[in-house]
Structure 1
Amino acid sequence: MPTTSSPAAYAIAILLCLLLSPATAEIKNVKITADARPMILLEKFGFTHSGHVTIAVSSVSITSSLSRPDPSHLGFFLLSEDSLIQVIIELQQTPNFCVLESKYINLLFTFRDLSPPPHSSFNNSYPVTSPNEYNLFFANCAPESQATMEVRTDVYNLDDGGVRDYLSAGLTQLPTLFSVFSLTYFIFLGIWIYICLTNKRSVHRIHLLMALLVLIKALNLMFAAEDKHYVKVTGTPHGWDILFYIFQFIRVVLLFTVIVLIGTGWSFLKPFLQEREKKVLMIVIPLQVLANLASVVIGETGPFIKDWVTWNQIFLLVDIICCCAIIFPIVWSIRSLRETSKTDGKAARNLAKLTLFRQFYIVVIGYLYFTRIVVFALRTIAAYKYQWVSSAAEEIASLAFYTIMFYMFSPVDKNEYFVLDEEEEQEAEMALRDEEFEL
């Protein structure tokens, strides 16, 4: 298809890709087929002073509806985060500007270096001695032309011992980080099992499901640590990414399910779900299947595919819908408890339940806000060397959420659900009447 978009549109597309694309690193093999895009983002990587980029292109074919394209108008370059705005300004202000001519880029090579063009191959390595986060682009400034080729990229840093580290400078701490949190959750699981065994009479099915959730979370982090470790050392995940995606899917679906079931009071307040509560699960679970499919596409391909931004938008939209959906059962339970408190004569118990569900509502809202908004902000504004901080913040928030949720709904004999003291009963009745009056 012809390249008819404006430079401003290209600049916006580039900026959107860079905002959505995390710093990655692996040995990647990319196949580009009849692609007319003027710029294709291949990698985003944080380099130390001993960084290297190795690019191998083969099976190169350039087709054009016009005259034979100038090979110097096609090539690969690095663009630092510091120079991004200047390049975008150039694209917007200068008609027919070719980014390969910009003074703000680090040009690696053009197709003029292929011998003989346009059907050839190329393989070379380039040192990166200025520490920064760079974006590796392929640019096609030849009008009405399409590029077909196979590209292999090796992007890495060398540590003090001269060993290759295929993780970005800001992500090299992730294997250790995930291992520590995985161990923490296994300890968490042991404590939870002990609590359940010492309070067998108060254990319900939801508590067993919560135990399964902690186990899946621990395994998910363990496989994430292995995945990142093998990428760091070898440049490929050696199949650990498959286990990571499987357990990530199970963990996310199970987490949303547990929140919905706790919000409805299933198993410890009532033995069954109402029809509307079943519908929430029927909506959330298929949407999470779609969200995880989008997550796999995003993680395993990269911004070079044409629909990469679309998959990101699908993931974000589905995640927002699911986050909103799981709030409704908690709100329904709060309303139901408020109505029940007027008729069943058990004010203290109902007030305790009502207070607990309100607290749970606040905790869930806080958790969703932090992990969706604050973590994204940290990932966006943090310096490239500290990108691991956003992952650490997300895991700390998750651990805090699990701890609070499990404490609030733990299987203990003197749970707030079973408060029946007479004095508290009278005080609760007054509190509920005051609340009804205020409403």
Structure 2
Amino acid sequence: MRILTKILTGVILFFFLFTSPSTAEIKSLKIRSDNRPMILFEKFGFTHYGFASVAISGVSVTSTLSQPDPSRLGFFLLSEESLIQVLLELQQNPNFCVVDSQFVKLLFTFRDLSPPPQSAFNRTYPVTHPNEYSLFFANCNPQSLVTMDVRTELYNTNKNTNQKDYLPAGMTQLPSLYFTFSVVYICFLVGWIYLCVKNKMSVHRIHLLMGGLVVMKGLNLICAAEDKHYVKVTGTPHGWDVLFYIFQFIRVVLLFTVIVLIGTGWSFLKPFLQEKEKKVLMIVIPLQVLANVASIVIGETGPFIKDWVTWNQVFLLVDIICCCAIIFPIVWSIRSLRETSKTDGKAARNLAKLTLFRQFYIVVIGYLYFTRIVVFALKTIAAYKYQWVASAAEEIASLVFYLVMFYMFRPVEKNEYFVLDDEDEEAAEMALRDEEFEL
């Protein structure tokens, strides 16, 4: 039982620390011969008028040791505030079953089934105390296997209209948020097209890819807005989640590709890619395919599946590898420009290019740091009512990154980085000599 207690403690801690709120659409799940002591189904932020509906059918419990006790299998809600008390109970008493804790909101046990343990059950429970709760299933019978079909439905209601809202309290603003940013990107695209047409003689192939990136980002946000809207109103995405994942996949692959191509100086400094730069693309693109598959599994199935933790680890590992890989071409370009500056007579132009790529390196690092670390921290520390702030921060950071990147490499005939006069040339030569001396 001590081993079971440690497992339960680890499971609860992991889910509270490393899971974000679910979109809480209506889900129908199948559990087959599962011996896990704890299964997390959803994490949801309730208002004063929240409800949790759980329906199970085809229930079967088998054990190789003894007849399972139906009172030690059940569903309950657990808030973060009650987490510490539950963990203390588990540590103090190895035989303690979490469904007996006074700190959990017990919904029902298998003793409520008639006749237990093979039957169907369907009931809706009001949640009058507003908070963020996680819906768990606990199995305190060692070596027992549980089979059942589960349908969960968590939602809040409007006290005036009694209309259901299937998005958590902190995420109900997401449809409006994503739609607003999609309009911003449409305006962004119009401005980019105008700039390219106005300076068509300075347009490179990379500028067309950058325009395609803005298109994919806008379509991705429109689909995200529609997806969240239908989940909010009906509990199901009505197919918008499929379009969302398609455009997200294209957008992410295109974003990493554009960063790599700009970092190599493709179509700015040279019209070709070296072998090592091609290998970076050949690594990043397949990894992004894997990362998007992991993202779909995480988003569409939920933490109840056995391999959910593994898919989270795969997504995190692949994302870190891709973020590191796209930095190398920028570093290579900076190193190449530094070497060229020592031998090429056009010192000012090379210094300007070197400055440009250094700034781009800093911008990329800042973007990756903010969206991967700061946004995650916001999701972790923000109150459940303000989970939308993390999404807003991520979209603002992305928009700023796009604006800065597009401005730095815009198609302008007289770009300050490439057109310099004699005075600038002389100043650059002195700067290069100073830099060489420092190195």
1:162: which partner in 2? 162
1:12: which partner in 2? 10
1:323: which partner in 2? 323
CA distance, structure 2, for counterparts of residue 89 and residue 419 of structure 1? 68
- The superposition leaves residues 155-201 of structure 1 with CA deviations (integer Å, 9 ceiling, x where unpaired) of 00002321000000000000000000000001000000000000011
Name the aligned partner's letter for residue 174 of structure 2. Answer: L
Identify which range, 381-390 or 91-100, moves more after superposition.
Answer: 91-100
CA distance, structure 1, for counterparts of residue 387 and residue 298 of structure 2? 18
- The superposition leaves residues 220-239 of structure 1 with CA deviations (integer Å, 9 ceiling, x where unpaired) of 00000000000000000001
Q: Aligned-pair RMSD on alpha carbons?
A: 1.0
CA distance, structure 1, for counterparts of residue 66 and residue 177 of structure 2? 54
- The superposition leaves residues 277-308 of structure 1 with CA deviations (integer Å, 9 ceiling, x where unpaired) of 00100110111011000000000001111111
| Partner SS, residue 343 of structure 2 | coil
**Alpha-carbon shift at residue 18 of structure 1 (Å):** 2.5
1:313: which partner in 2? 313
CA distance, structure 2, for counterparts of residue 380 and residue 128 of structure 1? 23
1:55: which partner in 2? 54
Name the aligned partner's letter for residue 280 of structure 2. Answer: V
2:207: which partner in 1? 207
Gaps of 5+ in 2: none
**Alpha-carbon shift at residue 248 of structure 1 (Å):** 0.5
**Alpha-carbon shift at residue 144 of structure 1 (Å):** 1.6
CA distance, structure 2, for counterparts of residue 17 and residue 367 of structure 1? 27
CA distance, structure 2, for counterparts of residue 314 and residue 197 of structure 1? 42
CA distance, structure 2, for counterparts of residue 379 and residue 294 of structure 1? 20
CA distance, structure 2, for counterparts of residue 320 and residue 93 of structure 1? 39
1:255: which partner in 2? 255
CA distance, structure 2, for counterparts of residue 110 and residue 6 of structure 1? 19
Gaps of 5+ in 1: none
2:20: which partner in 1? 22
**Alpha-carbon shift at residue 34 of structure 1 (Å):** 0.4
CA distance, structure 2, for counterparts of residue 143 and residue 318 of structure 1? 36
**Alpha-carbon shift at residue 77 of structure 1 (Å):** 0.5
Name the aligned partner's letter for residue 7 of structure 1. Answer: T
CA distance, structure 1, for counterparts of residue 184 and residue 178 of structure 2? 10
Q: Are the counterparts in 2 of residues 353 and 416 from structure 1 also a CA contact under 8 Å?
A: no
Name the aligned partner's letter for residue 349 of structure 1. Answer: R
The equivalences for 1:110-149 within 5 A come to 110-149=109-148
Q: Are the counterparts in 2 of residues 375 and 393 from structure 1 also a CA contact under 8 Å?
A: yes
**Alpha-carbon shift at residue 4 of structure 1 (Å):** 8.6
**Alpha-carbon shift at residue 408 of structure 1 (Å):** 0.3
Normalised by the length of structure 1, the TM-score is 0.98
- The superposition leaves residues 124-153 of structure 1 with CA deviations (integer Å, 9 ceiling, x where unpaired) of 010000000000001111122010000001
Q: Are the counterparts in 2 of residues 363 and 401 from structure 1 also a CA contact under 8 Å?
A: yes
Name the aligned partner's letter for residue 7 of structure 2. Answer: A
**Alpha-carbon shift at residue 13 of structure 1 (Å):** 2.0
**Alpha-carbon shift at residue 17 of structure 1 (Å):** 2.0
1:73: which partner in 2? 72
| Partner SS, residue 6 of structure 1 | helix
Name the aligned partner's letter for residue 258 of structure 2. Answer: V
CA distance, structure 2, for counterparts of residue 315 and residue 297 of structure 1? 10
**Alpha-carbon shift at residue 399 of structure 1 (Å):** 0.2
Q: Are the counterparts in 1 of residues 74 and 99 from structure 2 also a CA contact under 8 Å?
A: yes
Normalised by the length of structure 2, the TM-score is 0.98
CA distance, structure 1, for counterparts of residue 417 and residue 366 of structure 2? 23
1:226 aligned onto 2:226: yes
- The superposition leaves residues 50-88 of structure 1 with CA deviations (integer Å, 9 ceiling, x where unpaired) of 000111000000000122111101110010111012112
CA distance, structure 1, for counterparts of residue 420 and residue 65 of structure 2? 85
CA distance, structure 1, for counterparts of residue 386 and residue 288 of structure 2? 30
Q: Are the counterparts in 2 of residues 352 and 419 from structure 1 also a CA contact under 8 Å?
A: no
CA distance, structure 2, for counterparts of residue 93 and residue 34 of structure 1? 30
**Alpha-carbon shift at residue 9 of structure 1 (Å):** 2.7
Name the aligned partner's letter for residue 412 of structure 1. Answer: V
Name the aligned partner's letter for residue 272 of structure 2. Answer: F
The equivalences for 1:26-425 within 5 A come to 26-160=25-159, 161-425=161-425
Q: Are the counterparts in 2 of residues 17 and 309 from structure 1 also a CA contact under 8 Å?
A: no
Q: Are the counterparts in 1 of residues 158 and 164 from structure 2 also a CA contact under 8 Å?
A: yes
Identify which range, 114-123 or 390-399, moves more after superposition.
Answer: 114-123
Name the aligned partner's letter for residue 363 of structure 2. Answer: V
CA distance, structure 1, for counterparts of residue 2 and residue 312 of structure 2? 24
Q: Are the counterparts in 2 of residues 349 and 416 from structure 1 also a CA contact under 8 Å?
A: no
Q: Are the counterparts in 1 of residues 56 and 148 from structure 2 also a CA contact under 8 Å?
A: yes
**Alpha-carbon shift at residue 205 of structure 1 (Å):** 0.2
**Alpha-carbon shift at residue 419 of structure 1 (Å):** 2.1
CA distance, structure 2, for counterparts of residue 223 and residue 283 of structure 1? 28
Identity of matched residues, %: 76
**Alpha-carbon shift at residue 423 of structure 1 (Å):** 1.2
Q: Are the counterparts in 1 of residues 2 and 94 from structure 2 also a CA contact under 8 Å?
A: no
CA distance, structure 1, for counterparts of residue 193 and residue 2 of structure 2? 62
Count of aligned pairs: 437
Q: Are the counterparts in 1 of residues 353 and 418 from structure 2 also a CA contact under 8 Å?
A: no
| Partner SS, residue 168 of structure 1 | coil
| Partner SS, residue 97 of structure 1 | coil
